[in-house]
Structure 1
Amino acid sequence: MLVRYMTALLSTTLTAPRALADLFLSLTDVLPTISLDVAEDPAEADNYRYTFFLSEDTKEPFLAALDILPPQHFATPCTFDIVDTSIDYIAQNRAAFPPLTIGPFFVARNDEDQPAGLIKLDIMPNRAFGSGEHATTTGCLLAYTHLVQSGQTFAKGLDFGAGSGILAIAAAKQNGTPFLCIDIDAPSVAINNQNAQLNGVTHLVQAIEGETPPAGQTFNLIFANILLQPLVELAPALTSALATGGSLILSGFTTDQSADIATRYTSFGLKKVWEHQQGDWLAQIWQHASA
């Protein structure tokens, strides 16, 4: 169905520091906008590009609301473009992001109906990593499915480098496991919390901004789908956060990097108990060797 507007639909893209991401996302509650898209600025790593969509009759209130922000925050002026509403963007989006079935999970990206017997995950495509397409996300979901099928249960989970929150949301929806999600990227944290609300698990899934696992806490299940270097650097912290008898699911590295992961995590007393390979990407389950 085409979305129609009584007045012209406008868009404006503002370039501003990454540090303002939380402020901009909170402003969507008070600014007269239809939606906000956040993307990295390819020209400047410290900036994001914030694209607001609004109707023409709210242009002046929008500009007035922006006046609360100091002008030095903006690297670009506020100019408006008319959006072509004759294009069926919904149909385009559905074609670009079809639903996925991964183990017992049905990843819906455009509010598709839930197939019988599958657990629906509503994860809309956006800038946060983890909409289901990547082999590492698939591998982590299959690793978790393997643990569940093996009869393991989890009282408390950590999703480190959570992105969209898809992994924590999947575990919360399937088995009611409470999860703490941590990411260094403020917009991803906001998207994670929005996805938790969309999936009805805000009572179980909380996302916060951070760079390390919380000190002094342990978790029965940990997802760490990041990259080789942070996985190597965070091995002591992730191992300390893993409860006795718990499982650590690692991904975000390739087959030629597997030896580095093995050397690092075995040195902290863990053993690899399961592995999934898709293309060059790996997902592995690690547990305490003494367990």
Structure 2
Amino acid sequence: MVWAEVSCTVPATMVDEVAEFLVDLSGSGVSIDNLFLDTFSLDTVEESDRKTVKAYLPADADLSSKVDAITAFLAKHGPAFPGFTFLQPTISLLREEDWANNWKQYFKPARIGKRLVIKPTWETFSPDPDDLIIELDPGMAFGTGTHATTRLCLEALEQLFFREGAWADGHGPVPATVLDVGTGSGILAIAAAKLGGARIVGLDIDPRAIEVARENVRQNGEGENVELDTTPLTEVKGQFDVVLANILAEELVRLASPLIDHLVQGGTLVLSGILTEREEFVRAGFAGHGVTLLTTTRHDEWSCLCYRRDA
């Protein structure tokens, strides 16, 4: 499918009004570009008094009339904003595969922890003898492994399976079963299988993510050990040695009870996707639920909390 990226450059004070109009017109979100870099020094970055608001419209028979509507809106409302100069909206045509593939040039093999290596399917890599290679093509699902939230989960998983760090005391079951809530590209489920998990269940509310995850699981030869589904967490049967949840802080707290209910006594709960400023909010949300905080790790502006379910 071909899409039209329609860009409107307006004074910063007009951005909210233009964005609201474009959202109503397109039925989807907009992007706002306002930083202009002419050097590699971030010290030179300054907020511009003009911003570019971009909307994405199907390049079909209705495109012309919608661009006319945007042009009329700018001409009518723009003069009310200081510094407004009418500029005709610019249009660039994009294909869906452009969005899906252009980012690939920035995704390179990455080592996580001591043993895990995330390798894009289109890249070559020479592994060390003890490396555990995860072949990954995220497609339209979240999770390349390079984001801090995923990296923190992977590091915790490696230490858990190899009895390192907070798990060096040897307490708790040797992980055999893992539940991955919000599996995305399936990277955590695949890592759990590579590390030695015998049964891993990955859940996601997005059917497209499950399709991508299934292909990644197949690519890594873990189809016998990893199950993927859109089943709601509350409908999943049984308990697991490890429960992973790399989702937003508010969702973690909302799902605190079912997450813990699916954990065996002595099992490990790994929570990520938590902005450091929301860390105390999550801690408070899991207080009094029969779990003990084992360790807290942080990377960039993100936190990962690991709990053990009390006996």
TM-score (ref. length: structure 1): 0.68
For the pair shown, the structure with the greater C-alpha radius of gyration is 2
2:95 matches 1:112: no
Letter in 2 for 1:243: V
Q: Secondary structure of 2:140's partner?
A: coil
* Percent of residue pairs bearing the same amino acid type: 29
The residue identity in structure 2 corresponding to 1:279 is D
Match of 1:182 among 203, 207, 213: 203
Query: Once the two structures are superposed, what CA deviation does each residue of 1:118-167 show, in whole Å capped at 9, x if it has no partner?
Result: 11001114221111121000000011112123256212111000101101
**Runs of 4+ that moved beyond 6 A:** none
Q: Give SS of 1:120's match.
A: strand
CA distance in 2, matches of 1:198, 1:43: 37
SS of match in other structure, 1:260 = helix
- Partner Cα separation in structure 2 for residue 203 and residue 134 of structure 1: 27
Which of 264, 271, 275 matches 2:285?
Answer: 264
Deviation string, structure 1 residues 21-53 (Cα, Å, up to 9, x no partner): xxxxxxxxxxxxxxxxxxxxx94359xxxxxxx
* CA pair 128-141 structure 1, distance change in 2 beyond 3 A: same
Aligned positions of 1:186-201 closer than 5 A: 186-201=207-222
Residue 151 (structure 2) aligns with: 138
| 2:106 equivalent in structure 1 | 96
- Equivalent residue letter for 1:115: P
Q: Which runs of 5+ in 2 are unaligned?
A: 4-24, 30-57, 62-92, 164-169
Tell me the C-alpha RMSD between the 2 structures. Answer: 2.9
Q: Name the counterpart of 2:254.
A: 233
Alpha carbons 2:175, 2:241 under 8 Å: kept: yes
1:113 Cα deviation from its structure 2 partner: 2.8
Q: TM-score, normalised by structure 2?
A: 0.64
Question: Partners of 1:13 and 1:206 in 2: how far apart?
Answer: 34
Letter in 2 for 1:206: E
Checking the alignment, whether the CA contact within 8 Å between 1:111 and 1:122 is kept in structure 2 is no
8 Å contact kept, 1:157–1:219 = yes
Question: Matched residues in 2 for 1:273 and 1:180: separation?
Answer: 23
Task: Give the conservation status (yes or no) of the 8 Å contact 1:155–1:177.
Answer: yes
Q: Distance in 1 between matches of 2:177 and 2:117?
A: 23
Q: Give distance in 2, aligned partners of 1:174 and 1:249.
A: 16
